[in-house]
Chains A and B, each alone.
Chain A
């Protein structure tokens, strides 16, 4: 990252959401790299972009038109990487045809980004010797998240900015072990090491070691589970370290479905809103400092977490709880240590095979794939695409089409509400709510000052924000980094402002992620008298220390 020439942050406010990653971006900038930020908001990250032209303020949900227009411009200018396309990709012709209609002018109309800026980014990206394209939830929290990602991957294939030192694509993971969870098989269709559950040979390998039969079909992802609850197909839920009652879109529906379950078990380190709904709560240790194990970060680096202090009395390690539960259910899994569990994984996942416990300790983490103990781990992926002939399958272009946000803007709901994070807070605030951050802004609805003026409200005034699903009251904060017509809220303060009562659970069929980034709302001033008797938000003391 530090040695790249150009960085695109697309739908990513890394300055606040991934601050230490952004330190590396800043090092690159100080060395002369240019930063482009594609974001509806002029975020603190976007303020580091190329002055004047480096921030592309697109309308929410118009990422595909923008990406396609960039592609068309690159092609029109003859700046595509011909040799890479011919040697390492497939589907180029169809892709080329699909982006053909996306002229700069049309894209400007749809995305709101001036044509000249689109052109500049296209040329800068294609001409850069090294370029990194990063994205975060601004791309993936949409009903067409997978298509959005494909639109960006197409750009990297078109320019060959993938699989080389200083060039690549980089989805920034939002949680310390969301990558590791996937690595370990916490995906509906994968076994540990991303081995597909529907591949008979791979499944058989696991069945041999585990001594059980594994269902040969992929399961439900999170949104699928809620669908299943809706249809009565799922009646029991075991939640470990997740707070869906606050974090899922369309909170009314979520809480209704969780409350309607026959059995809800929650295993967590704090009494979350979800735990409050549970039949059984299993107090768990804080994985990062009260137990041993590993996590995997955004750069696929497997890292050791270590026990720094014992959990409080009565609180137990996740593995211990699970093994105990298994025992009660008639399966004795023993009392495996973290290292023993890791060694089992190494035996089953080729990508992790070379990462001995000793190496993980000594080498400050290792990046997968790491096939054997002499393998250094891979600093970047997809280097195989530069082998001639290419090793393995070609990387496919995938033509994708614009599909605007599901929650339409109308006269009744004229404001686009988008969501994101603050620097000092994290997700639903379960953990971060408990330290005294001097920066904490609380739950607000952020508006462009012009919108405030139109509504006749001043900073700090309370307004009612209403979507097709719910309504909350929140104080106004002005942010001239927004555009008129665009509002911003976070999910950090569900006790104060339950933003997810507003959001829509329009779900991407591939990833199962909801469209948190695009809600249609209307905003009305609230008279103080009116407010007194009416508190829309949940007032439960969610984070009280557990006895």
Chain B
């Protein structure tokens, strides 16, 4: 061994070259026309990205930047000339020469109907974003008739695929059902679920890879469920809460928020949100700490933070109780 080569701990190591990240794969430009404006986007970009690039605000529900597009809500549909049906902007890739209309009569009708269909079947009371869309598209869910009373506890979980009770009394079927409260960390109120698949994706390969929940049932009885509807503590759930983080309607809710709402004490106007770093392991996850009345009421993570991509683990998401418990 050549000892003269060995680094001496007492002498600082000299400065080396600045690390290089391999450049991204070059992407060709694709030119298309959206609402009469021509726009160039990199190959592989979606119509949603292209529309956003020129400032067109396309409504989305099941789309989230950190998840794979599933294009199921269909609120983002746009008209592409030459296409028999409307196409989902969130997942359809831009192609050269495409002529796209994002606000045609057909588009507006489909968007309005999607909103009315959701509004007539789902409790959207904690989904302010959708309320905004309703106004924008002049949606009137009530025109399908009065809602049927909510299902009994677990009734919807026992539905058989391919079978359903006949419509009754001119009432409209809904997903109404009691809230599932089976642990102290978060609740599941599937009356508010629009089946956007985001929670399943976050629990699955897009983030947590735990697969505790999946789609079960079929058709209008399709639902998010553990196997055989077992309570979360019996399931594979590891309480990372990433499903709550991506839920757009408040169907999945921190128990802390749920309890405050039940007590009519939840007040976002009195809340602050502060970004800091998780106190646990050394990964360095950014936590957004939501505080009301000098108590932590929930913790989230910014979706654009490249350590977390918005996702946390049980400790970061829920391990703050000790701060509140001191007096």
Contact = CB atoms under 8 A, between A and B. Distances in A.
Chain A in direct contact with chain B (Cβ < 8 angstroms): yes
A446 to B, nearest CB: 18
A172 B183 contact: no
Contacts of B9: 189, 196
Interface stretch (A118-126, A369-377, A470-478): A369-377
Interface string A398-439: 000000000000000000000000011110001111111111
Interface in A356-411: 364-365, 369, 371, 375-376, 378-380, 382-387, 391-397
B14 A391 contact: yes
B75 interface: no
B172 interface: no
Interface stretch (A255-263, A309-317, A494-502): A309-317
Given A174-B281, A308-B296, A393-B5, A289 B289 contact: yes
A289 B296 contact: yes
Nearest to A292: B276
B28 to A, nearest CB: 22
A479 interface: no
B289 A308 contact: yes
Given A304-B276, A383-B16, A438-B184, A270 B281 contact: no
B239 A438 contact: yes
Interface stretch (B97-105, B123-131, B143-151, B315-323): B315-323
Interface string A6-27: 0000000000011111010010
B323 A297 contact: no
Nearest to A394: B5
A298 B240 CA distance: 21
A547 B327 contact: yes
Given A295-B284, A304-B276, A383 B326 contact: no
Contacts of B232: 438
Interface residues of A, number: 92
A391 B7 CA distance: 12
A91 interface: yes
Given A289-B276, A392-B7, A426-B319, A437 B281 contact: no
Interface in A286-302: 286-290, 295-299, 301
A324 interface: no
B311 A423 contact: no
Interface residues on B, range: 35 or more
Interface string B4-25: 0111111111111111111000
Given A20-B283, A90-B1, A165-B20, A195 B12 contact: yes
B296 A309 contact: yes
B312 to A, nearest CB: 7
Given A165-B20, A196-B9, A438-B184, A392 B14 contact: yes
Given A176-B278, A196-B10, A379-B21, A369 B1 contact: no
B272, B282, B315 pick with most chain A CB within 10 angstroms: B282
Nearest to A395: B7
Given A308-B289, A424-B315, A383 B19 contact: yes
A153 to B, nearest CB: 12
B261 interface: no
B205 A30 contact: yes
Nearest to B9: A196
Nearest to B322: A434
Contacts of B7: 392-393, 395-396
B188 to A, nearest CB: 13
A277 to B, nearest CB: 20
Interface in B265-290: 272, 274-287, 289
Interface stretch (B47-55, B157-165, B301-309): B301-309
Nearest to B255: A436
B311 A20 contact: yes
B313 interface: yes
A296 B278 CA distance: 11
B155 interface: no
Interface of A: 17-21, 23, 26, 30, 90-91, 93-94, 165, 172-179, 189, 194-196, 198-199, 202, 269-270, 286-290, 295-299, 301, 303-310, 312, 315, 350, 364-365, 369, 371, 375-376, 378-380, 382-387, 391-397, 423-426, 430-439, 543, 545-547
11 contacts: A23-B207, A174-B282, A178-B282, A202-B12, A289-B279, A306-B275, A309-B291, A350-B12, A394-B5, A424-B239, A439-B314
Interface of B: 1-2, 5-22, 183-185, 205, 207-209, 232-233, 237-240, 272, 274-287, 289, 291, 294-296, 305-309, 311-316, 318-323, 325-327
Given A288-B287, A436-B321, 15 more contacts: A30-B205, A91-B6, A175-B282, A176-B280, A288-B277, A289-B276, A298-B284, A364-B286, A365-B284, A378-B19, A396-B1, A434-B325, A435-B185, A437-B185, A545-B327
